[in-house]
Every structure is written in C-alpha cells, then in structure tokens.
Amino acid sequence: MPCSDGGPTREQVENQNLRLNVGDLKIQNDMLANLICRLCTVLEDKGQGRVIKEAPLVGDWWEAHKKFDAERKRIEDETKVKENALSKLSAAEKSALGIN
C-alpha cells in the first residue's frame, strides 16, 4: 500500500480542477462575448447590420445581448439617480425616511 502524506484525495483534486476549468471557461466566454459585441457594434455603426442577420445564431445572440445590455444600463442609470438623490440628503433626513 502506498504511503499517504494526508494530502488531497483524487476526488478533491479532480473537483478542484473542474472548478478551475469552469472559472477559465467563464473568463473565456466573457472575453468572446465582449469581442463579438464590439464586432457587432462596429458592423451596425458602419451600416452593415445585415451581415449579422445573415448568420442566424449570431443575429439571435446579438438581439438578446442588446436587450440584456439595455436592461443592465437602465438599472445602472437608475442606481446612479438614486445614489445622487441620497447623497443630497443629510443624515437626519435619511433617518427620518428610514434610510440608513
């Protein structure tokens, strides 16, 4: 029977490798989405949006991505407006409104 130094089991090592691989895949996925977004934006800005629609999967992804981006921007803008409004209130006014 081989010696054991009390290190991780094979299953623990495999699980760690899987987590690392999933993390790497997320980074790669985000990078590719960013690149495709930039490419599609440039094509649309140059009046070449039809090229995107000619590749059905890309066109579908692009339409969904634009909706997602618009919603994200709406939420960011709304958050900025709230933060700006709250920054104008004194501590007493925030307390009176139940905002801490």
For all residues of the chain together, what is the average pLDDT?
Answer: 87
Give me the percent of the chain exceeding a pLDDT of 90.
63
Q: What is the C-alpha to C-alpha distance for residues 72 and 78, in angstroms, rounded to an integer?
A: 10
For 32-60, the pLDDT digits (tens) are 999 999 999 999 999 999 999 999 899 99
In the chain, the amino acid numbered 72 is: R
Q: For the chain, what are the domain ranges?
A: 10-72
